[in-house]
Amino acid sequence: MWKKFLYKNEKNEGKAALDNLDKALLPVHVAVIMDGNGRWAKKRGLPRTAGHKKGVDALREIVKAASAIDIKYLTVYAFSTENWKRPITEVDFLMKLFSYYLDSEIEEMNKNNVRLKVVGYVEKLSENLQKQVHNAEDRTVENTGLTLNVAVNYGGRDEIVMAVRKIAQMAAVGKVDASAVDEQMVDNNLYTAYQPPVDLLIRTGGDMRISNFLLWQCAYAELWFTEKNWPDFQPDDFAAAVQSYQTRDRRFGGLSK
Ligand code: FPP
């Protein structure tokens, strides 16, 4: 089990930092832009794909850490609507890696009560991959612990357009009145429908931008950036981000308490 793994880890990496967090002030929804895989590989004279592969290992550890401290939602950016512009060999590799991930991690997710959801325009993926996605989601649907959203072929603007389109279609057949369209209705038609907004957005790799990730859901997210490349990101870095979040004064446009 992951919780035991964390506590049994010989070096106890991340354990103290995770233990020291204020359990009453945890973010409910954490999002992560896992950037810097290519640079991690380049520094080591390796192909970019080696960085992505190592990125899967880092992701596994962060899912364990988030699950161990009872974070409810974790959304990670695996492939954006813009990533199709990369060389075909890299796109193919990322798709294969995603397919491998869907096969290899589900058992461990089930053991640890993690529910997997893929967010994004899944219909553009190959038919096989779409089947795998639905199969993986179905196999974890009963789990009630951490919900892990993996964003694939995801774009924040695209997601909002899709939601508007769905609402417009309902309006066209008289199921919805234009005056009834409100924030809740838009929210309920996003890929992350019925999930809470993002509390904390982490970005690795040194850039300080949102890159079309969860634009709607991040309206009041606290942002945390690190120079570390994603493959080097570890549970104690995750704890440092949450720790920083716990010091923030969240006013949501109001005044301090
Ligand atoms: C950004 O680094 C990373 C990606 C576009 C892919 C993220 C994918 C993983 C972390 C693999 C694990 C995920 C799954 C679910 C299979 P970059 O390539 O843009 O790095 P760079 O900015 O250094 O070039």
Mean pLDDT of the chain: 94
CA of 107 to the centre of ligand 1 (A): 23
49 Cβ inside 6 Å of ligand 1? no
Using a pLDDT cut of 90, give the percent of the chain over it. 93
Predicted local confidence at residue 98, as pLDDT: 98
In a domain, 168, yes or no: no
CA separation for the pair 168, 119 (Å, rounded): 21
109: left (phi over 0), alpha (psi -120 to 50) or beta: alpha
What is the pLDDT averaged over residues 166-191? 98
**Of 32, 33, 35, best ligand 1 pocket probe by most atoms within 8 Å of the beta carbon:** 35
231 ligand 1 Cβ < 6 A: no
- Distance from the alpha carbon of residue 233 to the mean position of ligand 1, in angstroms: 13
Residue 139 lies in a domain: yes
Does the residue 90 lie in any domain? yes
- The share of the chain scoring above pLDDT 70, in percent, equals 95
Q: Is residue 191 domain-resident?
A: no
pLDDT band at 13; cut points 50, 70, 90? low
Examine the pLDDT at 14 and tell me if it is beyond 90.
no
pLDDT for 12:
60
Residue 4 — pLDDT band, cuts 50, 70, 90? very low
Q: Is residue 130 part of a domain?
A: yes
Give the active site residues: 35, 83
DSSP per-residue string spanning the chain: -HHHHHHH-TT-TTHHHHHTS-GGG--SEEEEE---HHHHHHHTT--HHHHHHHHHHHHHHHHHHHHHTT-SEEEEEEEETTGGGS-HHHHHHHHHHHHHHHHHSHHHHHHTTPEEEEES-GGGS-HHHHHHHHHHHHHHTT--S-EEEEEEEE-HHHHHHHHHHHHHHHHHTTSS-GGG--HHHHHHTSTTTT-PPPSEEEE-SS----TTSSTTTTTT-EEEE-SS-GGG--HHHHHHHHHHHTT----TTS---
Pocket test for ligand 1, best of 32, 37, 61, 91 (most atoms within 8 A of CB): 37
Residue 11 has pLDDT above 60, yes or no: no
Residue 211 banded pLDDT, cuts 50, 70, 90: very high
Q: What is the pLDDT of residues 53-107, one digit of tens each?
A: 999 999 999 999 999 999 999 999 999 999 999 999 999 999 999 999 999 999 9
Q: What is residue 107's predicted lDDT score, i.e. its pLDDT? A: 94
pTM here? 0.95
Residue range 120-142: mean pLDDT, rounded = 98
Atom of ligand 1 nearest to the CA of 231: 10
9 occurs within a structural domain: no
What's the rounded mean pLDDT across residues 23-51? 98
So what's the pLDDT on residue 60? Answer: 95
In-domain check, residue 147:
yes
Q: What's 215's domain CATH number?
A: 3.40.1180.10
In a domain, 176, yes or no: no
Determine the atom of ligand 1 nearest the C-alpha atom of 53. 11
Asked whether 97 lines ligand 1 (CB < 6 A), one says yes
CB of residue 101 inside a 6 A radius of ligand 1:
yes
Domain holding 200, by residue range, is 26-155+196-245
- Domain count for the chain: 1
Q: Is 233 in the pocket of ligand 1 (CB under 6 A)?
A: no
Kindly indicate the confidence band of residue 2, based on its pLDDT and cuts at 50, 70 and 90.
low
Q: Compute, in angstroms, the gap from residue 168 CA to the centroid of ligand 1.
A: 34
Ligand 1 pocket, residue 98 CB under 6 Å: yes
pLDDT at 8 over 80: no
